[in-house]
Chain A
């Protein structure tokens, strides 16, 4: 079996199908101080973490829902499970053999063990609230790289975690970061020591299984000076026809002369509200690259943010959003130029189909003093039919004069003539459409490692199936 064979067998059923979830029946719905204390106790957390959680809970109850973006009024906070842990999963496994059979089967269908063997430096696999598997190849461990379940990292590396946890993203940034702080569970802790180049990607896969589940994993990444790395995240959830919520948080610190790439393919089921927060702080001469694909999920609000703090620091944001029937993809990028001679690029591609709505919402802020800043934003939209729509909301806040800024936006519809041309060569209408769409997102696909590029193409193809008629 080749590393890519699993992708050919991927179909919607792989993602939509759920395992038995007797454990979740015992899990209670709703949010309370009691639950927050229980989570912290079960995880044997230090006092400061419990205090932080309680602060999060307090802020969550005080704060209002955002008044912009996707309408969240139907999100019933009392009807969600905030913490669920399959009984048999006590501590994660470091060998797939030790992962409970049905959990293992899920990840096998998603191709994780196979990919790990072939191309990854390490892999993690989270199932509802807890990691089922986490492993880093020995060669990297020897160099001092830490790739750990976030729950475990709080125990094993308390000083490092305390120094960086919820520092790039403040607890009260918005209602969902407050909620995240209160009930976060699982996720990844990655630490790359000074000068170490991890040249194979590290991957984490987040799987929601239980119905009405909320998943709140926390990913904390520290890339020390001169270090380099690439982290890839995949996400999916089965389809139940009732609401689930994903409010994860990603914090990345890119130190002087370091480079880091974070790629994610978010493919939650359409029942999911995906309200994720991702932020990186980049120091002098550092480079942060974001590559993101947003498919699935009914309603998404996600705007990865780069704070270019150090001189000559750089960020690249590449994003694809696919809004199919019944979906709103409200996504974009935020870039804040603080240091001198900082550079940023944003390339966003939105596709809408079958009545879906794809929105680019971006912030480009250049602070006073960020002399010589260069920024380029380009967002392209492709609308596949008359029912679908696309909008662009760029927000430019420029407080410095000595800057160079480019902003381009385009909205395109697939032309009959293009389809006819491809069909005259023997491609069906669906194949022709898929080909045009794949061409549209190609600049982003080519930034992904081969395995993920192929998977992303396959996911897009799945979205394109039955697109006509």
Chain B
């Protein structure tokens, strides 16, 4: 069998799209529309209570955004690589509890606040990475499908967080909580660190070879393997990265709640997946934009916080979030339909 390439008609080959077309494509892209929706939602909340566009509220929004963005970023990597990680929420809980124990121990032994917190951060990241390694081994060695493998660690993580903590919050660290609220303008120092890390993750995904491998594997793992990519090693690294980011989120929750609570992060994996879906990533892998996830997280944060802000019963939260997911899916299908027409 031979493949015959048909030359494109003369005059149309290799012609870059005009500036007008590119602008039109940009303006009608899913992310642009979602960005407009995000701004509209914010204006709506401000219309109901003019304190919404205030530095204190923006500071709150950024703090809540930072609680969610790292695991959403992790989920973006995993989903684009063709997998899914259900364990990120429970990893937040278990790493936060273990980290809190370590910090409590070190502070009790006069180790100093800052060194204790730094060691606690490393421990949280380490526990998260350990969960990631377990996921990676189950997926790449035992050949479990990612859904099942991470369901195992989701369940075990939730249980272990409760066993370790005996159900209560570990430690009480108001100094850490007060530090986490300090910063400049609308940014806390903690949120600056998280935002910088998020930016690095975005750049790595879209600019580096590592990111390109991620898309290639998610798009077609067989072709990626044939092209010389060590698929198993890459997939393992993605799950370890995901665990590590979830572990760091455990530390963020430690700062927010003055301790390690076994309930922290539980269920947040679904919110992270929702943010990725709203952002336009394909759940079958190989496609997605990091900026889309960022907008997805921003929308979910603004909706959750904004409804409380304007004194709407919080029971409406999930309904509104569901509406946004439906909107995102609709935009995706409309976009796919318009491409077919073109």
Is B one of A's binding partners?
A: no
Binding site for B on A (CB under 8 A): none
